[in-house]
Copies of this chain bind each other. A is one copy, B any other.
């Protein structure tokens, strides 16, 4: 970890820079796979699954028997944990479901906005060593609350040809019945274009490696919506002398274990905190199974000493972290000054892990500085908000002079006439 003391403001940009995450060099490879899936459908999916996942698939769709087997084998305590998390996530996201409010902007001019679920959405869940069943809760629960009528999930099979039971159980628990054993670029292509097995969707959600990210960007340019642009996961912590250095160290490490490219930043007003956190990180790191990954991430991480809370907030807003932990006095007052962040964790007993899994907030969040302009996933991400209006004769009559004057001034005579012809007929 690099320690930086009282950096001048003109050095911040360099200091807070993320490593470049440019997927353009992958575009050629990724485009070829997407094109192949578009043209050859299931046959291409089977071919890539054999090549990348070393599995010869019978059925691409997960069968009812496989869901049952997952249910039979999954540990009861994990089911209980998933149920608890799902309940909290549902409680938090249900409050985001927007009612329809009928407004009369002028007498006789009724306008309203109605959230309508995106009909067909696709969720991508990566495979690999850590089965990210928690992400299913974070995507499927808001999708269901939004009223999406078709929810498709793609995930690569393990070497035994099966999907991890926790993934299948979480999918079924959240009401997903269409799970397909296909991963990587080919899964994104399957959901973007549709194949014999996998339905085409209008919006694709979920994390993935650089190839998946590149595939999502490419299908997005071609007209399929995606949740948000992606980058490596990151946490920033603001801590003062009221923090518990062991807790801060644990939070930094929980981010660092995600991968070598994870970003970890501590901003503090206290010299003693820096020293204590550094010592705690070393002690806790030694015990971690994913130590090697964490060490690499820590090489790029920074502990920054600043003059005061104002400077800390300026720096954190300039960084725009995905996760921001505030382990400090009067945290709630200071948190009102957060402008750029994905999700904020206040106090000594709100670790990022709480939001990652079970407190109720969503863990699909903007990385890479995108928190300046993007929100995390919410029910909003799964709906279109359609506006409606109905004008009575009187309403149109009252509004006509304004519309006619503006249309005429914009040189759009037919726009004006669409009003004038109605007024003439009143």
> Interface residues, chain A, CB within 8 Å of chain B?
75, 77-78, 80-82, 84-85, 87-88, 91-92, 95-96, 101, 103, 105-106, 109, 111, 113, 116, 118-119, 129-134, 166, 202-203, 217, 221, 223-225, 229, 244, 246-247, 250-251, 253-254, 256-258, 284, 287-290, 294, 331-332, 335, 338-362, 366, 368-376, 378, 380, 383-393, 395-396, 399, 401-407, 409-419, 421-422, 425
Contact = CB atoms under 8 A, between A and B. Distances in A.
A344 B387 contact: yes
Q: Considering the complex of A and B, which 4 residue pairs feature the smallest CB-CB distances, nearest first?
A: A81-B405, A105-B360, A225-B373, A88-B105
A95 B51 CA distance: 53
A280 B166 CA distance: 63
A417 B361 contact: no
A131 B410 contact: yes
Nearest to A424: B246
A335 B380 contact: no
Given A111-B361, A399-B354, A402-B81, A384 B373 contact: yes
A389 B359 contact: yes
Contact of A384 (B133, B374, B409, B411): B374
A202 B284 CA distance: 38
Contact of A223 (B118, B250, B348, B369): B369
Contacts of A372: 118-119, 202, 384
B113 A346 contact: no
A346, A356, A380, A399: residue with the most chain B Cβ atoms closer than 10 Å: A399
Nearest to A135: B410
B409 A166 contact: yes
A358 to B, nearest CB: 5
A356 B404 CA distance: 11
A325 B338 CA distance: 43
Contact of A203 (B116, B221, B371, B373): B373
B247 A422 contact: yes
**Total copies of this chain within the assembly:** 2
Contact of A250 (B345, B348, B418): B418
Contacts of A343: 386-389
B390 A385 contact: no
Nearest to A394: B349
A299 to B, nearest CB: 16
Contact of A353 (B284, B352, B357, B416): B416
A375 B347 CA distance: 36
Contact of A354 (B77, B253, B412, B419): B419
B111 A290 contact: no
A130 B410 contact: yes
B354 A250 contact: no
A92 B111 CA distance: 7
Contacts of A346: 388-390
A360 to B, nearest CB: 4
Nearest to A289: B413
A254 B113 contact: no
B414 A290 contact: yes
A81 B130 contact: no
Contact of A134 (B247, B250, B406): B406
A109 B357 CA distance: 13
Contacts of A375: 383-386
B290 A413 contact: yes
Contacts of A96: 113
Contacts of A422: 244, 247, 250, 348-349, 351
A351 to B, nearest CB: 4
Nearest to A244: B425
A77 B132 CA distance: 61
Contact of A344 (B166, B339, B345, B388): B388
Contacts of A374: 225, 384
Contacts of A92: 103, 105, 111
B257 A412 contact: yes
Contact of A109 (B78, B88, B246, B290): B88
